[in-house]
Amino acid sequence: MLPVIYTDRFLEHRTGAMHPERPERLAAIVERLRRSPLAASLTWQEPRRATREQLLWVHSAELVETVEQVCRAGGGSLDPDTTVSAESFEVASLAAGGWLDGVDAVIRTGEPAWVLARPPGHHAEREQAMGFCLFANAALAAQYALRVHGRARVAVLDWDVHHGNGTQQLLWQEPRLAYISLHQSPHYPGTGYSHERGSAGNVLNVPLLAGCARKEYQQALDALVWPFIERFDPEVLIVSAGFDGHIDDPLAEMALRASDYGDFARQALARTRRVLFGLEGGYDLDGLAESVFAVTEACLSVHTRQV
């Protein structure tokens, strides 16, 4: 059985008409999974709410208070791309808590888990919500694995088409945490160059030109990403699973297919079964739903040794 952390409350984060990061993204994913042959192998779990203390592990008190106050006032814009509604603070706290629940599940079972949550998180910095992201879910989950579960090494692999500037910033100074990103470059947010390596060589950025497909991604994985992860030898691997590198996505210019994401997931799981997949971007509804299905299928079909 594969744990899937999800709640319909994630649909209550309203971003406004025509915004790419909309509730329909999750609705499409959930419908695809619940009507699929995999449905009987999924265990759906409601998330907890991340506490204020936990949010402060990665964010300033000023940021947390600003997000809460804007939402209490009925919503508004935190930056030109990032809109919140009255329920968004609560929903974002549930999203962050869902990633923590995912870490619990992976460590408890030694098997993968999915967090199907929104808003996403990898652009959120210590002092700034941005890029559709309110709280840094992946960075918080990595800190949780260290602080609560006592893990010695945790890696975040980010295959969203945009560089996760927030996750990188928040993991940069901690040698027990690694950040690895494959992303389109040049592209938003303008970070993620190969010379950005972290304070202890714990960051690997793999910028890719627009138009890259499976061949180019696979070359980068084989030459750079998998060797880096194997050397770091994480006890838990967290995947910031964005699917906006799909060929049909409206916000980028990559050429991946849903099946490619499934293969990437299999390759990660061949290195350790202790993988938490957490949703980031992906804005073509069909491409997003099929890509999540492909990763879910990989989680349920791959059985390999532990690292």
Q: Could you tell me the maximum CA-CA distance found in the chain, to the nearest angstrom?
A: 51
- Nearest by Cα to 167 from 154, 186, 151, 150: 154
- Beta-carbon count within 10 A of 190 CB: 11
Q: Starting at the earlier edge strand, list the strands of the sheet with 154-158.
A: 42-45, 2-5, 113-115, 275-279, 236-241, 154-158, 177-184, 203-208
Let me know if 59 is a catalytic residue.
no
Q: Contact 270/302 with Cβ under 8 angstroms?
A: yes
Among residues 13, 59, 122, 123, the one annotated as catalytic is: 123
Supply the DSSP symbol for 38. Answer: T
| Pairing between β-strand 75-79 and β-strand 82-85 as defined by DSSP bridges | antiparallel
Buried b (16+ CB within 10 A) or exposed e, 120-137: bbbbbbeebbbbbbbbbb
Q: With both helix axes pointing from N to C terminus, report the angle between 285-301 and 258-269 in degrees, rounded to the nearest 10.
A: 30
Which region, left, alpha or beta, applies to residue 6 given φ > 0 means left and ψ of -120 to 50 means alpha? beta
Question: Distance between CA 80 and CA 9 in Å, rounded?
Answer: 24
Q: Contact 277/239 with Cβ under 8 angstroms?
A: yes
Q: Where are the alpha helices (DSSP H) in the chain?
A: 24-34, 52-55, 61-72, 88-109, 137-147, 165-171, 214-220, 226-232, 258-269, 285-301
**Catalytic residue set:** 123
